[in-house]
Amino acid sequence: MELNSADISTILNRILDTAADNLRVAKILVQLGLDPNNVTYDALFNRLLEIGLANITLANMFALIGAIFFVATLLMQTMVPLRVANMAGCTFFATFGALTGNVSTFLLYLLLLPINAVRLRQMLRLVKKARTAAQGDMSMEWLRPFMTERRYQRGDRLFKKGDVATEMFLTVTGRFLVKEIDVELPPGRLMGELGFLTPNNRRTGTVECIEDGQVLTITYDRLLELYFQSPQFGYYFLVLTSQRLLENIARLEKTVAQQDAGSQTAIASDPP
């Protein structure tokens, strides 16, 4: 048999009477303005309703909306909407701080706004560059904000074939040589991207510095983070590395063709 509203109210009142016997609960009831010796469900509900209505102010409404946006950021899986929601939440919390005269709250969320704005701009640029991959834009300049600077001198070895690969390089100045295929890498070229794709993350070649220069580096962990933040970046990176592989294959075919041509010339020049 289903319980009616009177039975539920009676049960709740009994629960409240039992809870009021606890000193901590009794103290809380006193703070709420209730008599611990004579507390009922209706009295508690009405008192909480009064407190809620009394605290409905413009400032608290801004704080409530800001809290909703904050919770929304915890539920989002991609960075762009997360940053947008975070900026909206910071705006409402900063307004709450201004209306209540809470300087620390106002300054905290006011300072968080430009930080989120800068990160959002970087991510939007990332997505924009990724979307242009299909049109053949293979520039890696957009990746600079996520990379760190490193300098090398002539004779320094950046990495050796077979080493464990943990980062990717972008040349800025100087000259670098891939020893196995005797290819020089000018500024603006990518190095070490294939190690990101190999199953065991091993270097596929040895690169040495042949002229003092500067490179930018980014770890594979950061690359993975960018991939999960923007699936378009994953496509962009695959197109880029595929182009590198095709260049290597074309270079190898050219070398083989030159060797075959040299062999035929040597055979033709031999006396009968």
> Between 248 and 122, where is the model more confident?
122
Q: In Å, how far from its chain's centre is CA 172?
A: 25
Q: Which of 46-50, 83-87, 156-160 comes out lowest in average pLDDT? A: 46-50
> Between 193 and 53, where is the model more confident?
193
- Are 70 and 120 in the same domain? yes
Mark which of 81, 103, 131 sits at the end of a domain: 131
Mark which of 105, 131, 157 sits at the end of a domain: 131
**pLDDT score recorded for residue 28:** 67
- Are 153 and 71 in the same domain? no
> Between 54 and 204, where is the model more confident?
204
CATH number for 206: 2.60.120.10
Mean pLDDT in residue range 211-220: 90
Quick check: is 249 in a domain?
no
| Residue 254 pLDDT exceeds 50 | yes
Q: Say if residues 144 and 188 touch (Cβ distance below 8 Å).
A: no
What is the per-residue pLDDT across 51-77, written as a single tens digit (0 to 9) for each? 666 667 888 889 889 999 999 888 887
**pLDDT score recorded for residue 69:** 92
Quick check: is 117 in a domain?
yes
What is the per-residue pLDDT across 109-118, written as a single tens digit (0 to 9) for each? 999 999 999 9
Report which listed range, 23-37, 39-53, 122-136, 250-264, is most confident: 250-264
**What is the span of the domain harbouring residue 68?**
58-131
Q: What b-and-e string marks burial along 136-160, b requiring 16 or more CB atoms within 10 Å of the CB?
A: ebeebebbeebbeeeebeeeeebbe
Rounded to the nearest 5 degrees, what angle is found at the Cα of 198, between the Cα atoms of 134 and 196? 60
| Residue 22 pLDDT exceeds 60 | no
Rounded to an integer, what distance in angstroms lies between the CA atom of residue 122 and that of residue 113? 14
- How confident is residue 1, by pLDDT bands cut at 50, 70 and 90? very low
Quick check: is 256 in a domain?
no
Quick check: is 250 in a domain?
no
Mean pLDDT in residue range 114-125: 87
| Residue 3 pLDDT exceeds 60 | no
Mean residue pLDDT of the chain comes to: 78
Quick check: is 267 in a domain?
no
> Between 172 and 241, where is the model more confident?
172
**pLDDT score recorded for residue 162:** 87
| Residue 148 pLDDT exceeds 80 | yes
| Residue 267 pLDDT exceeds 80 | no
- Are 152 and 221 in the same domain? yes
- Are 99 and 150 in the same domain? no
**pLDDT score recorded for residue 79:** 79
| Residue 89 pLDDT exceeds 70 | yes
> Between 239 and 180, where is the model more confident?
180
The sign of the CA dihedral 65, 70, 75, 81 is positive
- Are 75 and 123 in the same domain? yes
